[in-house]
């Protein structure tokens, strides 16, 4: 179906807005520190204590450190594994090592705030949690991977590289089609007369990164987990950085334009970062809702949310489940233009909570979920139930979201079978008509945090454990009084 002039205008506007959504680069470089700061205390595998200073250590001293290490493991799905074809390195876990180095007492904390974070996030308290000591000898490497978030409030990682003599071992970062390389060996290289420098790299934990092979010497690193040390919702009044300014300015221009979304509607954003959506062993969500994630949005995701907050626009997080509906020949589900051919129509179901447990359905999600949970169904514009006044225009595609939830479902037909549903985490911003852009209600209903849902009533003590421990959802704009099924464009 050819685009109308109005649709083309909207598409051009969305493309213009999309171009302003850019993540900041990882924060990396070198920092000169007093030589005593580099001391490292550790126990070997016989529990003998050692102390070395990597800034001045001999090869023999570093050999002792390397021998004290265990084979480094890494996360693969829900498991912790060792595989030297994927990662070849040694590590010492806490409490078997210690360091006087406190990064929060150095200029690093200011650099992380000014370079990695933006807007209100740059003012939030940050907690540094020492996590690992790693040693990469000659031939050591770590293929491309992402760090595993340790909690909802973990937003990033900090890697510190000691000034040991080595070559290779550069850190390569990749995110959203961009790539950065930090040659840490060159950054910490020094002569005896130089003041030693610490290499550092801070980055969002879900940014893909790899350690290239070390070609000589030992690459010795400390890894810290970075947490927001508060639970507050971002303020609408805060200073903005360059990236945030660009997005806010373009959004302001569009909101002021009477030709942009003249009937109002919704802007959709597939999230560009990974956030934990955890399930219990019985596949129940550990938290009943999604809106708590608004407090810990990273990078460009936070930029979008804070801009919506600043303009007073109702915003919610949703899981987008993709479903297919068979349109029967000469039936009620014909194309709107009269074409009666049989086809499978792809459409979306938006939910403000994950599905509970091994959800069972036999007539299609599009029938069950709106009835049970007040889900929102977004139909194709050719469908007879398509409603242009409730259209969701995707600035960044929902399918491009970096956070995807995989849930098992029991499908009932002639024979019951186990299947999997995939849902993408996205943000939906309500846009009112020109002259009153804040008047549009948010999509969907927030989950009821009191009492039980019907699916919980017949569960046994063990099966309902996850739901009993879920935390309250108290973030997210708009009324929860919406009833029924809402439709729009996907």
Q: Are residues 189 and 138 in the same domain?
A: yes
| Same domain as 250, residue 224 | no
**Arithmetic mean of pLDDT, 185-214:** 90
Q: What is the pLDDT of residue 138?
A: 97
Answer yes or no: do 134 and 103 share one domain. yes
The answer on 153 and 88 residing in a single domain is yes
482 has pLDDT over 90: no
Q: What is the DSSP string of 303-348?
A: HHHHHHHHTT--EEEEEEEEEEEEEPTTSTT-BTTS----EEEEEE
User: Is residue 328 scored above 50 in pLDDT?
Assistant: no
Structure confidence at residue 331 as a pLDDT band (50, 70, 90): very low
Answer whether residue 431 shows pLDDT above 90: yes
pLDDT above 70 covers a percentage of the chain that reads 75
| pLDDT-based confidence at residue 490 (cuts at 50, 70, 90) | very low
Question: Is residue 476 scored above 50 in pLDDT?
Answer: no
Average pLDDT over residues 179-190: 94
Residue 473 within a domain:
no
Of 187 and 361, the structure prediction assigns the larger pLDDT to 187
b/e map 192-217, b = 16+ CB within 10 Å = eeeebbbbbbbbbbbbebebbebeeb
Residue 80 lies in a domain: yes
Per-residue confidence band for 354, with pLDDT thresholds at 50, 70 and 90: confident
What's the mean pLDDT when you consider all of the chain?
Answer: 80
Residues 31 and 82 in one domain: yes
2 domain-assigned: no
> Is 12 within the bounds of a domain?
no
Domain annotation covers residue 236 = no
Where is the domain boundary, 174, 196, 228?
Answer: 228
Same domain, yes or no, for 35 and 77?
yes
Domain that holds residue 337: 243-468
The answer to whether residue 485 sits within a structural domain is no
Question: Looking at 197, 228, 259, which one is the last position of a domain?
Answer: 228
pLDDT tier for residue 466 given thresholds of 50, 70 and 90: very low
Q: Kindly report the CATH number assigned to the domain that includes residue 62.
A: 2.60.120
Q: What is the pTM of this model?
A: 0.76
pLDDT band at 411 (very low <50, low <70, confident <90, very high): low
Instruction: Please name the residues in contact with 66: beta carbons below 8 A apart, sequence gap of 6 or more.
Output: 90, 135, 137, 218
Give the pLDDT score at 481.
33
The whole-angstrom separation of Cα 366 and Cα 379 is 10
Q: Do 220 and 311 reside in the same domain of the chain?
A: no
Q: How many helices (H) and strands (E) does the chain have?
A: 8, 27
């Amino acid at each position: 179906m050819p685009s109308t002039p109005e649709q083309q205008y909207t598409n051009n506007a969305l493309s213009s807005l999309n171009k302003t959504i850019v993540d900041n680069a990882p924060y990396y470089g070198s920092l000169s520190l007093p030589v005593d700061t580099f001391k490292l205390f550790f126990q070997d595998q016989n529990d003998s204590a050692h102390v070395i200073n990597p800034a001045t250590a001999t090869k023999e001293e570093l050999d002792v450190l390397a021998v004290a290490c265990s084979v480094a493991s890494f996360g693969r799905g829900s498991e912790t594994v060792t595989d030297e074809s994927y990662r070849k390195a040694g590590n010492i876990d806490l409490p078997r090592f210690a360091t006087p180095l406190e990064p929060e007492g150095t200029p690093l904390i200011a650099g992380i705030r000014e370079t990695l974070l933006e807007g209100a996030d740059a003012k939030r308290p940050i907690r540094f949690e020492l996590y690992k000591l790693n040693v990469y000898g000659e031939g050591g490497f770590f293929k491309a991977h992402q760090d595993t978030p340790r909690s909802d409030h973990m937003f990033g990682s900090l890697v510190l590289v000691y000034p040991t003599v080595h070559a290779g071992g550069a850190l390569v970062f990749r995110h959203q089609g961009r790539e950065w390389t930090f040659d840490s060996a060159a950054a910490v290289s020094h002569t005896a007369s130089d003041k030693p420098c610490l290499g550092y790299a801070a980055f969002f934990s879900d940014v893909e990164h790899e350690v290239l092979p070390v070609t000589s010497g030992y690459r010795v690193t400390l890894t810290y987990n970075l947490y927001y040390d508060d639970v507050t919702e971002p303020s609408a009044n805060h200073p903005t950085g360059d990236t945030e300014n660009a997005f806010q300015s373009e959004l302001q221009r569009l909101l002021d334009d009477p030709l942009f979304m003249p009937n109002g509607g919704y802007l959709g954003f597939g999230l560009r970062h990974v956030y934990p959506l955890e399930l219990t062993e019985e596949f129940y969500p550990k938290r009943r809702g999604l809106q708590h994630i608004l407090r810990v949005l990273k990078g460009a995701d936070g930029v979008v949310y804070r801009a919506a907050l600043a303009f007073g626009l109702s915003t919610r997080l949703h899981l987008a489940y993709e479903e297919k509906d068979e349109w029967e020949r000469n039936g009620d589900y014909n194309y709107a233009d009269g074409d009666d051919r049989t086809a499978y129509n792809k459409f979306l179901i938006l939910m403000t909570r994950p599905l509970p447990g091994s959800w069972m359905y036999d007539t299609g999600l599009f029938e069950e979920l709106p009835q049970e949970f007040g889900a929102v169904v977004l139909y194709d514009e050719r469908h007879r139930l398509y409603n242009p006044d409730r259209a969701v225009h995707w600035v960044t595609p929902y399918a491009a979201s970096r956070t995807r939830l995989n849930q098992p479902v029991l499908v009932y037909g002639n024979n019951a079978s186990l299947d999997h549903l995939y849902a993408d985490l996205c943000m939906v911003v309500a846009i009112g008509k020109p002259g009153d852009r804040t008047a549009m209600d948010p999509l969907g209903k927030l989950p009821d945090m009191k009492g039980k849902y019907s699916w919980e009533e017949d569960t046994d003590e063990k099966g309902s454990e996850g739901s009993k421990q879920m935390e309250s959802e108290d973030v997210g704009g708009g009324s929860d009084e919406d009833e029924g099924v809402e439709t729009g464009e996907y």
